[in-house]
Structure formats: structure tokens, C-alpha cells
Amino acid sequence: MAQACIFCDIIGGKIKTDFLYEDGDVVAFADIRPIAPDHVLVVPRAHHATLTDAAGDGGPALLGKLLKVAGDLGAARGPEGGYRVVINNGAAAGQTVYHLHVHVISGRHFAWPPG
Ligand code: 5GP
Ligand code: ZN
């Protein structure tokens, strides 16, 4: 675990958070500053700072699990099964929390290309 990681604190129970989904590898919880009517974060229990790191260390099974859970949550929560899945990787892409997470957002129109 990295030092002073807010998502490790959430996963470890130091910061009380309701999990919308959890299993041995992954948890999901509502984003504290939602950018859409529904905004869920899917987060591996293991600390990987970025997608790039996880692709090397976590391997395809973990990444597959994250997308599987993101897809199930999006399909269940998004109106008419519509949702967007986003991973911000690195500062240049807008990543602010350096513990890999998948955003699952739904409930409004999303422009393409994204801003
Ligand atoms: P990023 O910008 O790294 O892709 O996304 C980080 C996300 O984590 C942001 O959408 C932000 O609102 C969310 N976030 C930051 N701190 C907390 C927290 O303590 N609890 C929850 N539930 N979400 C958080
Ligand atoms: Zn962490």
C-alpha cells in the first residue's frame, strides 16, 4: 500500500464509505464529487498508482475484472443501459488520485470527443 492513499484508506475502512459492490479483488463506491447524475468508481483493492502500473503488475485478470464490474454497474445504473467508462491515466490526462480507478458515469449526455 502506498503512503497516504485516500482510496487505500476507503478500502481499508479508515474512511467509512458505502460499497455499491465488493468482492475479493474490487470495490465500487459513489464519487464524492459526481460529474453526472450517477458516478461510480470501480477500484482494485490492491494499490496500483495508474493503469500503466496495473497493466504491468496486476495483469490481464485484474484489468478484466475491473471492466467486468464497471460494465455490470453501468448496465444496471445507466438509463436504457447507457453509460460511459473512463480511466484518467497520469497528470496530463487529468488523474488526481493515484490509485487506479474506473469511472462509470451515466444519466446525462456525454459529448464526443471528450473535453
Ligand atoms: P481522477 O481525477 O483521479 O480520475 O478521479 C479521482 C476521483 O476521485 C474524482 O472524481 C474525485 O471526486 C474522487 N474522490 C476524491 N477523493 C474522494 C473521496 O474521499 N471519496 C470519494 N468517494 N471519491 C473521492
Ligand atoms: Zn491506494
pLDDT tens for each residue of 16-47: 999 999 999 999 999 999 999 999 999 999 99
* This prediction's pTM: 0.96
Q: What pLDDT sits at residue 56?
A: 86
Distance from Cα 6 to the centre of ligand 2, integer Å? 7
Mean pLDDT on 7-17: 97
End-to-end CA distance of the chain: 32
Cβ of 93 closer than 6 Å to ligand 1, yes or no, is no
pLDDT in the model for residue 115: 84
The pLDDT value recorded for residue 88 is 98
> What does the alpha-carbon distance between residue 30 and residue 20 come to, in Å, rounded to a whole number?
8
Give residue-wise pLDDT tens across range 51-99.
999 998 778 999 999 999 999 999 999 999 899 999 999 999 999 999 9
Tell whether ligand 1 has an atom less than 6 A from the beta carbon of residue 88.
yes
pLDDT at 81: 87
**Residue 103 to residue 69: CA distance in whole angstroms:** 11
Q: What is the 3-state secondary structure (H, E, C) of the chain?
A: CCCCCHHHHHHHCCCCCCCCEECCCEEEEECCCCCCCEEEEEEECCCCCCHHHHHHHCHHHHHHHHHHHHHHHHHHHCHHHCCEEECCCCHHHCCCCCCCCEEEEECCCCCCCCC
- Ligand minimally distant from the alpha carbon of residue 17: 1
Rounded to the nearest angstrom, the distance between the alpha carbon of 103 and the centre of ligand 1 is: 9
